[in-house]
Amino acid sequence: MPENVSQEIRSELTQDGHIVLSIAEVAKPSPADKEVLIKVEAAPINPSDLGLLVSFAADLKSLTMTGSGTSTRTTMTVHPKLIASMKARVGQSMQVGNEGAGVVVAAGANAAHLIGKTVGVAGGAMYSHYRCVRASNCLVMDDEITPAQAASSFVNPLTALGFIETMRLEKHSALVNTAASSNLGQMLVKICHDENIPLVNIVRKTEHVETLKKINAQYICNTSDPDFMAQLVAALIATGATLGFDATGGGNDGKLPGQILSAMEIAANTNAKEFSRYGSETYKQVYIYGGLDQSPTVLNRSFGMQWGLGGWLLTPMLQRIGAERFQALRQRVTREIKTTFASHYTDEISLEEMLQPDMIRAYTQQRTGQKYLVTPHKD
């Protein structure tokens, strides 16, 4: 491949209702004065990436592939009832990949000191051979940190830290988190352990319970157990948690967010001295931050009137806390990238392998403990 050419993954929604994944050859970018050119060596596939890469409206049973190498094109049908919500992206060949890491190979005059440094960045379009970004957007790693170790330095670490920031801003004192044995969930366990924050962890399998016990999680509730609600109420009474974060968007047949609110209400009423037809005076909040479960969210209104259910996104949260606090969180991630914020991967795949139907089916399943790392320069 010529020196002045780069390759990148593209996702396009066609007029006839298909998503087409391909590898585009583009001109290698050149950095301006305050920019750096990164040779991207590692970029994770996060759930947030899948919304653009394949969308949550795609029918994965319809996957077909033609060509090979840089001529590979993989096509899938979008469910007809869902295509209306995606019309804004019809005909656009979109770059993909929220975050990643690599080595700075060129820089503008004001960023030349970064040449040769390993950096993490959340700049979008990271499923690419090369990426040009502002130097100020980079997390500069210590010399012993590899791109693979630095690849997941934004989305999961800052989301976990963002939960803590939300808790403090909204005057709660303890947390509930679902899909708690995930990469992100394990980071949150470590943060809460270090900062003495009570945390209730909700998982769905016995092996997930064992995973969390190994990293000192204290309160673990398993939705697969027949006494799950009793476990949850007991943990909420012990911790006083009134703020929950749900990665499923449903879970437990769509009931999980509502079950959390109901258990919080039961816990709040444990020491109530008189009955109120409006429920307890304790405010309870659950935020949905993911869509691991595509079933409807079901609420059985058994939690009084002092409650909230909403969506949570990282970027608005970071804007809410301000630049100074955001920078402090970034610095913590850099310091603890091999400990608190370490990530582990099931497999490393190339750009071409990203387009293989069997691989797409594997990384879109979003199974706990299975995370894929894209290595753009892999042969």
Q: Can you give the pLDDT at residue 306?
A: 94
Residue 273 has pLDDT above 80, yes or no: no
When pLDDT is averaged across residues 326-343 and rounded to a whole number, the result is 97
d(CA 236, CA 260): 9
When pLDDT is averaged across residues 291-295 and rounded to a whole number, the result is 81
165 and 310 co-located in one domain? yes
Angle formed by the axes of helices 314-321 and 155-169, to 10°?
Answer: 50
* Count of residues in the chain: 379
Strands 118-121 and 100-107: antiparallel
Instruction: Kindly tell me the burial class for residue 336, based on how many C-beta atoms sit within 10 Å of its own C-beta (0-12, 13-18, 19 or more).
Output: middle
Please say which residue of 318, 334, 361 terminates a domain: 318
Residue 120 has pLDDT above 80, yes or no: yes
d(CA 80, CA 86): 11
The CATH code of the domain that includes 163 is 3.40.50.720
Helices (H), the chain: 47-53, 147-150, 155-169, 183-195, 206-213, 228-239, 256-268, 314-321, 323-335, 351-354, 357-363
Among the ranges given (32-41, 228-237, 297-306, 354-363), the one the predictor scored with the smallest mean pLDDT = 297-306
Percent of the chain beyond pLDDT 90? 84
Domain encompassing residue 307: 155-318
326 within a domain of the structure (yes/no): no
135 and 230 co-located in one domain? no
Total of domains in the chain: 2
Among the ranges given (126-140, 195-209, 293-307), the one the predictor scored with the smallest mean pLDDT = 293-307
Residue 84 has pLDDT above 90, yes or no: no
When pLDDT is averaged across residues 227-248 and rounded to a whole number, the result is 97
329 within a domain of the structure (yes/no): no
List, for residues 231-240, the tens digit of each pLDDT value.
999 999 999 9
358 within a domain of the structure (yes/no): yes
d(CA 243, CA 110): 44
Name the pLDDT band for 251 (thresholds 50, 70, 90).
confident
Q: How many helices (H) and strands (E) does the chain have?
A: 11, 18
Residue 368 has pLDDT above 80, yes or no: no
When pLDDT is averaged across residues 307-333 and rounded to a whole number, the result is 96
| Token pair of 158 as six digits | 């800052």
Q: Can you give the pLDDT at residue 295?
A: 83
Percent of the chain beyond pLDDT 70? 100
Report the predicted TM-score, pTM, of the whole model to 2 decimal places.
0.93
Q: Can you give the pLDDT at residue 69?
A: 87
Q: How far is CA 227 from CA 136, 208, 230, 237, 246, in A?
A: 50, 17, 5, 16, 20
The CATH code of the domain that includes 127 is 3.90.180.10
d(CA 206, CA 208): 5
When pLDDT is averaged across residues 211-228 and rounded to a whole number, the result is 97
Q: Can you give the pLDDT at residue 369?
A: 74
214 and 254 co-located in one domain? yes
201 and 298 co-located in one domain? yes
When pLDDT is averaged across residues 288-314 and rounded to a whole number, the result is 91
331 within a domain of the structure (yes/no): no
Other CB atoms within 10 A of residue 325 CB: 13
When pLDDT is averaged across residues 67-79 and rounded to a whole number, the result is 93
Angle formed by the axes of helices 155-169 and 323-335, to 10°?
Answer: 130
Name the pLDDT band for 189 (thresholds 50, 70, 90).
very high
Among the ranges given (83-87, 303-307, 357-361), the one the predictor scored with the smallest mean pLDDT = 83-87
336 within a domain of the structure (yes/no): no
When pLDDT is averaged across residues 96-110 and rounded to a whole number, the result is 97
Asked if residues 175 and 167 have their Cβ atoms less than 8 Å apart, the reply is yes
167 and 116 co-located in one domain? no
Name the pLDDT band for 291 (thresholds 50, 70, 90).
confident
| Token pair of 236 as six digits | 């909420």
289 and 211 co-located in one domain? yes
Residue 185 has pLDDT above 80, yes or no: yes
221 contact partners, CB below 8 Å, separation of at least 6: 200, 201, 202, 203, 228, 231, 232, 235
The pLDDT mean for the chain works out to 94
Scored b (16 or more CB within 10 A) or e, 172-190 reads bebbbbbbbbbbbbbbbbb
Residue 357 has pLDDT above 90, yes or no: yes
Torsion of CA 197, 202, 207, 213, to 10 degrees: 20
Task: Report which residue type is found at 90.
Answer: V
Residue 214 has pLDDT above 90, yes or no: yes
11 and 117 co-located in one domain? yes
120 SS3 class: strand
Name the pLDDT band for 2 (thresholds 50, 70, 90).
confident
325 within a domain of the structure (yes/no): no
144 within a domain of the structure (yes/no): yes
When pLDDT is averaged across residues 184-199 and rounded to a whole number, the result is 97
Asked if residues 129 and 6 have their Cβ atoms less than 8 Å apart, the reply is yes
